[in-house]
Amino acid sequence: MIFDDKRNNLLKQALKIKEHGELNSDFERNFFSLVESVVIDMIDGEDNFFGQFLVKIERSIRFNITWPLATVPKMQGFKMYFNPILFLMCNKKEMQALFKHEVYHIMYGHHQREKDLKNKYTTTSVNLALDISINQFIKNLPMDSFKIESINKEYNLSLREDKSIEEYAESIEKAIRSKFLKSMKSNNSESIGEMLDISKAHDAWEESNLNYDAIKDMTKKTAISSFKGNAPKDIKAIINAYTEKAEIPWQETLKKLMPSLRAGERKTITRRNRRQPDRLDIRGTLPNNIPEIIVAIDISASMSEEEVHKIMIEILEITKTRTNKITVIECDNEIRRVYEMKSKNDIKKRTSNIGSTKFSPVFKYIKDNKMRNHVLIYFTDGVGEKELEVKPVNSNIIWVLTGDEDLSLSRPYGEIKKIEGRVEKGEGGTAGLEMIKEYQQEHGRYF
């Protein structure tokens, strides 16, 4: 029996099960056998990565979901739910496209992104924005799938590819409100059909109680184990970025500075209070040898995107070694932004790179804000002024040079390290950078 005959036969059975409410084991076995044949074809063909990824996902049937598929991150792994009626209405190529759609949602972190966006936009706008942001990468999707072209036509918009989800959601939200006001008297569902409901397409995601980091770690492990060297360029970029590592051993580097650093005092129950030693209820103090860190980033026009990307990798490694906050200072010829960072989620999108390079504003900021006990890690291509206008008040400075140039300062007042900032183009050379650019557009931050 050929594939379409099996599919049509199963669809008839699914309609009867839906009507009578009796799901039997024979149907489940035959249905998932058909699903398995679709996945095997993907593994054997150019969609190998997606097929390998799908093998690691648990599967179940749900007639009450309003889209053919819904994948939920759970503690034990990803679980994919099928509405067999909606799924069996698709041919094999459409089924494969739907599988890709689900994997793209996972790879681009949409489960958490959806939660963030729902605080600003309606569910329908968010779901449409999420779908069109990835459907532009996928061929052979079912006719009812939402694409930029169909959304532009439906809502009289002019959305373009490679834009952020937030930009899509905002435009769609405005268009929906405008269309609603113009057609309050009419109430038709048009071509979507009674069973398909985009406003509920991702409702199953609400079942997940995992946080962003847990989902990302699970995605990372599944993606790396599924990658056999063949994947679309954008997917390969994400996987390559997973495996990039910092060049500088920051834990060891910062540990060497600890004996010479003091950052105030911390309370302890192991030592009595010096002023009131007889009061056992008052805690004593010990020196706090975990200093605050300042990370200064050169964002001048001479800094390439590759160099900024490499800096982000180094900063992410620094956050892993720290339990306290890091102060980030972005500077070209003047300070453009200062913010605190406790984890990778606090890294912000790079601001405009229009100025020349000056190091002095950072040292003036440190002096004015009495940050002499902080460790300063300054990322730059090295091309700035020859003499500092403000003498450093902090004695622990690490310069991290990203380019081929030496540090322009005649006196650095600190240690100089180098990282390979200029990335060679070619296979894997700029893959991580491309992923960062896409994530900048999608999330408004680097990771």
How would DSSP label each residue in 196-252? --GGGTTGGGGG----HHHHHHHHHHHHHHH-SS---HHHHHHHHHHT---SS-HHH
**Which H or E run contains 70?**
strand 69-74
Distance (Å, rounded) from C-alpha 165 to C-alpha 69? 21
CA distances (Å), 397 to each of 133, 290, 358, in order? 43, 16, 16
* Side chain identity, residue 210: L
Q: Which residue has the higher pLDDT, 65 or 198?
A: 65
- How does pLDDT run across 335-356, given as a tens digit for each residue? 999 988 876 666 676 666 567 8
Distance (Å, rounded) from C-alpha 72 to C-alpha 240? 24
Q: Which residue has the higher pLDDT, 72 or 345?
A: 72
Please name which of 389, 381, 377, 382 lies closest in space to residue 414, comparing C-alpha atoms. Answer: 377
3-state secondary structure of 59: strand
Q: What pLDDT is stored for residue 322 in this prediction?
A: 60
In the chain, where are the structural domains located?
Answer: 3-231, 250-443
Q: What pLDDT is stored for residue 238 in this prediction?
A: 84
- How does pLDDT run across 160-210, given as a tens digit for each residue? 998 889 999 999 999 988 876 665 545 444 443 345 677 788 889 999 988
Q: What pLDDT is stored for residue 312 in this prediction?
A: 77
CA distances (Å), 105 to each of 7, 69, 87, 205, in order? 26, 12, 18, 11
Q: Which residue has the higher pLDDT, 113 or 237?
A: 113
**Which H or E run contains 14?**
helix 3-20
418's tokens: 């180098």
Q: What pLDDT is stored for residue 60 in this prediction?
A: 96
Non-local (6+) Cβ contacts of 342 within 8 A are: 319, 324, 325, 326
Please name which of 238, 261, 245 lies closest in space to residue 442, comparing C-alpha atoms. Answer: 238
* Side chain identity, residue 218: M
Q: Which residues pair with 155 in a beta bridge?
A: none
Contacts 24+ apart (CB under 8 A), 263-269: 263/288, 263/289, 263/290, 263/291, 263/292, 263/373, 264/288, 264/373
Please name which of 59, 77, 33 lies closest in space to residue 69, comparing C-alpha atoms. Answer: 59
- How does pLDDT run across 44-56, given as a tens digit for each residue? 999 999 999 999 9
- How does pLDDT run across 265-282, given as a tens digit for each residue? 555 555 556 666 666 556
- How does pLDDT run across 404-413, given as a tens digit for each residue? 889 999 999 9
CA angle 415, 417, 418 (to 5 degrees): 160
Q: Is the pLDDT of residue 365 over 80?
A: yes
If pLDDT is split at 50, 70 and 90, which confidence band does 437 have? Answer: very low
* Side chain identity, residue 439: Y
**Which H or E run contains 438?**
helix 431-443
Q: What pLDDT is stored for residue 157 in this prediction?
A: 94
Q: Is the pLDDT of residue 375 over 70?
A: yes
Are 380 and 402 in contact by the 8 Å Cβ rule? The answer is yes
CA angle 65, 201, 33 (to 5 degrees): 50
Please name which of 110, 235, 107 lies closest in space to residue 164, comparing C-alpha atoms. Answer: 110
Non-local (6+) Cβ contacts of 336 within 8 A are: 299, 330, 351, 352, 355
Q: Is the pLDDT of residue 433 over 70?
A: no
Choose the CATH number for 250-443 among 1.20.120, 1.10.3470, 3.40.50, 3.30.1360: 3.40.50
Measured N-to-C along each axis, helices 233-242 and 92-107 cross at an angle, to the nearest 10 degrees, of: 30
277's tokens: 């030693």
Are 127 and 199 in contact by the 8 Å Cβ rule? The answer is yes
R_g (Cα) of the chain, nearest Å: 27
Q: Is the pLDDT of residue 434 over 80?
A: no
- How does pLDDT run across 376-408, given as a tens digit for each residue? 999 999 999 999 999 999 889 999 998 788 999
Q: What pLDDT is stored for residue 241 in this prediction?
A: 76
26's tokens: 């024979």
- How does pLDDT run across 284-339, given as a tens digit for each residue? 665 555 568 899 999 888 887 777 777 877 887 777 766 567 899 999 999 999 98
Q: Answer left, alpha or beta for residue 403, where phi above 0 means left and psi between -120 and 50 means alpha.
A: beta
Distance (Å, rounded) from C-alpha 44 to C-alpha 56? 16
If pLDDT is split at 50, 70 and 90, which confidence band does 130 have? Answer: very high
